[in-house]
Structure formats: C-alpha cells, structure tokens
Structure 1
Amino acid sequence: MDTVNLATLYDLPAMDWAAVGAGLEAGFAQAPGQGGPDRHTCWLTTLNADGSPHVTALGALWVDGAFWFETGETTRKGRNLARDPRCALSLATHDFDLTVNGSAVHVTDPETVARLAAAWAEGGWPCRVDDSGTALTAEFSAPSAGTPPWAIYRIDATSATALGTVEPGGATRWTF
C-alpha cells in the first residue's frame, strides 16, 4: 500500500488506514435519526455510457475489509456497472470523510450472498436470499434499487482518500 499525506502544508501527520478501517468496522448506521447530522449516506458514482458520472445514494456495508452494496441489474447503476465496473463510493462519518475508488464485482456465491443478507438484516433491512440463492429480495428497498431480485456487488478498491474531521485532522490518499 502506498500512502500519501495530503496535509503536509499544515504539518499534520498522515492518517492511518488501520484506524479508518476500524472506524468502518465499528459501523455507520444508515437509518434516519442515526449517524451523521441525521444519518450516514453512502454515495455511489458509476459511469454513464457517454462517460459522464452518475451519482446515487445507497445503503452500503463494510464487511471483510470491503464495501458491499445491492441494486437491481436493470437500474441505471446496474446497467452502468455491467458495461464498466469502475466506480467510487463516498461516505461521511463522524471522524472522517472517505472516498474509495475501484471496480464493482457482481457476487453470486450463495454462501456470501446469505452472509451479506444476514448483515443487512442485522442492520435493520429485513432482506433475505431469493429462490436462486444468488441475489436478495425483500418487501421493500430504496426506490433507486429497482425491483427485486437485487444483485450484490463488492467494491475491489484501488485507492482511497480520507479527510479527518476530528483532531488532529489530516488528509491522506492510499493506493492499494
């Protein structure tokens, strides 16, 4: 991993990726009334066919050192990812703002899908594995997710940038 301190101008130390990971492991509730001024929202950026960005809010999880999200394959983000898996995910937490760049990998392994369904359910979204065993279903999801079944994606990160929002602050970019 390559670490670049972006805050040397202010004599601030480089942020520690392990501390950022520990903050993500601690969780970032996305239900209204929790987290950030009112909640933590993840923002996913994909690329439209003309190369312009498409940014949308979504519910993401941090599991096994990676961000995971779900969406319908016929949504704009689903179609964009099928054509070009490059994406970025952004999140503001209490201690840091974070952007992760990488590629979204469509995950269909039944054991992984079941484990992620359980993690989302534990976080308050009562989803479950669909009959195929490779996607999710539920009575509801965000309108931008489209209709079920919902595919699961893992972001394989190539780089990340964090901005510390509490003392001592800092700004750091990591390349993986």
Structure 2
Amino acid sequence: MTTWHDVERAAPEFARRVRALFDAHKHKTIATLRADGSPRISGIEADFEDGELAFGSMPVARKGADLRRDPRFALHSATVDPVEGAEAHWPGEAKISGRAIAGPATEDGDRFRADIAEVVHTHLDEKATKLVVEWWTPAHGLRRAERE
C-alpha cells in the first residue's frame, strides 16, 4: 500500500504543492465506478491525516457503495481559473488516483484511506507559455512533461 507519507518522503516539494492545492478548498470532486462500469462524479471532502489521505461517504451514499464494490477512484482538487494577466501565478490543479481501502462503517457513514497509484500536478511554466504536467507513481517516481 502506498500512503501519502510515501509520496512526501519520495518527492517532498512536489507533495507540498499538491497538498496545498487540496487544502486550499474544502470541497473536492471524486470519480468512482457505478455497478454497470460507467463513471460517477461526486462532491467530497478529503483530509490528510497521520500520513494518509482519507475521505468519507455519508450513510447509504452511492459513492460509498461504488467504492465498496470497486475501490478505484480519482480525486480532483478544486479548480480555479488563472487570473488574466497573471497566468504565471496560477497554482494549477491536482489529482490523486488509486484504490480506496474501507475502514469500519460508523453511524456517520463510511471512511476510506487511499492506496495511492498516481499523483498529478498540472500548472503553467514560469512564463505561462507552456502547460506543465508533473506526475508521481510508486513505480517510476516523479516525471514531468511540458506542452505548448
């Protein structure tokens, strides 16, 4: 299992930027898979707790049922538009994907920990002329691509 602490240890500056994007706003978006295999997008709150990424689902919520049936997920930070004229200061957006590990259900609902497969930070270069995609995986570490 790959935890958030593993990401921080392997790529600390990258992990700091990604976490700042997730911590900047309370609400995130999660993609899960429905029983028929089609995607479902839901709003969610997520927290970094004791070196792990954790998130929950209210009782009888569909996203919790999705994750108990098929644990694959993709979590997306809140997205904000770059400010016109100051695009180089846009912090970008972040994504984390992996498998949700269910904890014991409570009266408040389900609680999950993330087994992280990939972490992505998409942003602009210093001159705001190129899109920069940085991604980390347990198998390949941190990589970077730039696109015009």
**What range is the shorter-chain TM-score in?**
0.5 to 0.7
Matches within 5 A, 1:95-174: 95-108=91-104, 135=106, 148-165=107-124, 167=126, 170-174=132-136
Is this contact kept in 1: 2:101–2:112, CA < 8 A? yes
Q: Secondary structure at the match of 1:157?
A: strand
Moved more, 70-79 or 98-107: 70-79
1:17 positional shift: 3.9
Question: What is residue 137 of structure 2 aligned with on the other side?
Answer: 175
Matches within 5 A, 1:4-83: 17-23=11-17, 24=19, 27-30=23-26, 41-83=27-69
Q: 1:100 to 1:154 in 2, by over 3 A?
A: same
Q: How many residues align?
A: 114
Provide the aligned C-alpha RMSD in A: 2.6
Is this contact kept in 1: 2:32–2:66, CA < 8 A? yes
Q: 1:101 to 1:95 in 2, by over 3 A?
A: same
In 2: Cα distance, 1:87 partner to 1:17 partner: 22
Is this contact kept in 2: 1:47–1:80, CA < 8 A? yes
Is this contact kept in 1: 2:96–2:120, CA < 8 A? yes
Q: 1:73 to 1:85 in 2, by over 3 A?
A: farther
Moved more, 153-162 or 164-173: 164-173
Gaps spanning 5+ residues in structure 2: where? 1-9, 80-89, 139-148
1:84 positional shift: 0.5
1:82 positional shift: 1.1
Moved more, 161-170 or 53-62: 161-170
Question: What is residue 142 of structure 2 aligned with on the other side?
Answer: none
Q: Secondary structure at the match of 1:170?
A: strand
Is this contact kept in 2: 1:87–1:101, CA < 8 A? yes
Q: 1:61 to 1:165 in 2, by over 3 A?
A: farther
Q: Secondary structure at the match of 1:95?
A: coil
Question: What is residue 131 of structure 1 aligned with on the other side?
Answer: none
In 2: Cα distance, 1:50 partner to 1:165 partner: 37
Question: What is residue 84 of structure 1 aligned with on the other side?
Answer: 70
